[in-house]
Amino acid sequence: MKYLHTMIRVKDLEASMHFYCDLLGLIEVKRYDSEKGRFSLIYLAAPDDHETAKTSQSPTIELTYNWDTEDYSGGRNFGHLAFAVDNIYASCQKLMAAGVTISRPPRDGHMAFVRSPDLISIELLQRGDALAPAEPWLSMTNTGEW
């Protein structure tokens, strides 16, 4: 398993970039703007992690900026922790066997979400190419929120 990023939703992108980059000294390594989804993703790395993050995009903080105004309550501004796993199906099966709910099953062979006992959202991403879609994951529906 490899730690990838922590996602934080931000309300004021300019103020957030000032805080994280100008004041804390993090460096922007990637930016993705989605016109259709009306959001921007900005990946930031600490100076000591900058070179690694430029190629692997980890470890980073992902600032998610939704273009439409939204107030975040109940911790919704904190998004999730993300980890790359060697086999997303095996990882989800192990968690499920231990009683963990798979909130967003890996129907695509690439991505799943679970929650910690404290309800922190955890994103699991298949390392490398997505695995071929397979049951029981393909037929599983989402449960709760993530």
**Catalytically active residues, by annotation:** 123
- Residue 84: closest CA among 52, 104, 115, 59: 59
CA separation for the pair 6, 107 (Å, rounded): 23
Contact 136, 94 (CB under 8 A): no
CA separation for the pair 2, 53 (Å, rounded): 13
Distance of CA 4 to the CA centre of its chain: 8
